[in-house]
Amino acid sequence: MSRSTISPTTHQLKNHTSVTQTIRHSLTMAYRGLLKIRRTPEQLFDVTLQPIIFTLMFTYIFGGAISGNVHNYLPVIIPGILVQTVITTSIVTGVQLREDMDKGVFDRFKSLPIARISPLAGALLADTIRYTIATVLTFTMGYLMGYRPDGGIGYVAIAGLLVILCSWAISWIFAFFGVIARTASSVQGISMLVLFPLTFLSNAYVPVKTMPDWLQWFVNINPISHLVTAVRELANSGVIGWDLMISLIGSAVIVLIFAPLTVRAYMRRT
């Protein structure tokens, strides 16, 4: 054959992807996620409306009964709603991942010499923008209703970051459901089934003392309760306590378990 062929030896070929490359690929994938959000801003409806509606609704329904009046209830309910709203938002990550993975573009991602984890990590990273929006809106709603956290703006920011970080960690669980489930709506179903009891059987809305003993036992070991307590301590009194540590450790454990599981399932899926 007279024509010259592109020689495969001109590249330096390696069979593994370095950590730096993995991070770069994940950031590119996150950029793709942000572009998609910008193209379809209507998918931000839930993170915009939920904090507004929930904050108004729960505060006025429970305020009088639990804390005597609405104003005294705000330091209790705002951290509670913040945690619940942002974590619920992370379900969307799993659902959208499922929808996304069914599209042909994921075939191309699989055929590219990139780290297997990067399409997943990128999608999850891009979704932290949603958590940020929900966080800012919840605190803003609280402020408008008269919430003045004693911890000050610095600790409120730390509390917000903590919630965003924990939700990102938890979204790996839903990403796992997203990868193994057959349809997007089943992801939604399973995830709600897991999350609904977890968020309500916690100290997010109601003081634990008012519950029966057996329920107190569960509420006290529920990781959501620890996160809510950590946020309350940070925002209301500027305290960095044990609950913060527990939340961070719990998040790390979730990521260490579910990130490899999710990537493995993603690679096995054809």
DSSP state of 209: G
CB of 26 to other proteins, least distance (A): 10
CB of 131 to other proteins, least distance (A): 21
C-beta closer to other proteins: residue 210 or 270: 270
Dig out the tokens for 40 from the structure: 């379809």
C-beta closer to other proteins: residue 109 or 172: 109
Distance in angstroms (rounded) separating the CA atoms of residues 62 and 67: 8
CB of 133 to other proteins, least distance (A): 19
Structural contact between residues 151 and 237, judged by C-beta atoms closer than 8 angstroms = yes
CB of 125 to other proteins, least distance (A): 14
Report the first-to-last Cα separation within the chain, whole angstroms. Answer: 37
CB of 4 to other proteins, least distance (A): 5
Using alpha carbons, list the distances in angstroms from residue 106 to 181, 234, 252: 16, 41, 27
C-beta closer to other proteins: residue 59 or 96: 96
CB of 8 to other proteins, least distance (A): 4
Distance in angstroms (rounded) separating the CA atoms of residues 175 and 191: 10
Q: How many residues would you count in the chain?
A: 270
C-beta closer to other proteins: residue 108 or 209: 108
Structural contact between residues 86 and 164, judged by C-beta atoms closer than 8 angstroms = yes
C-beta closer to other proteins: residue 37 or 66: 37
C-beta closer to other proteins: residue 71 or 110: 110
Dig out the tokens for 237 from the structure: 């009194």
Dig out the tokens for 46 from the structure: 């839930």
For residue 35, give the amino acid letter. Answer: L
Binding site for other proteins (CB under 8 A): 1, 3-9, 11, 13-17, 21, 24-25, 28-29, 31-32, 35-36, 39-40, 103-114, 118, 270
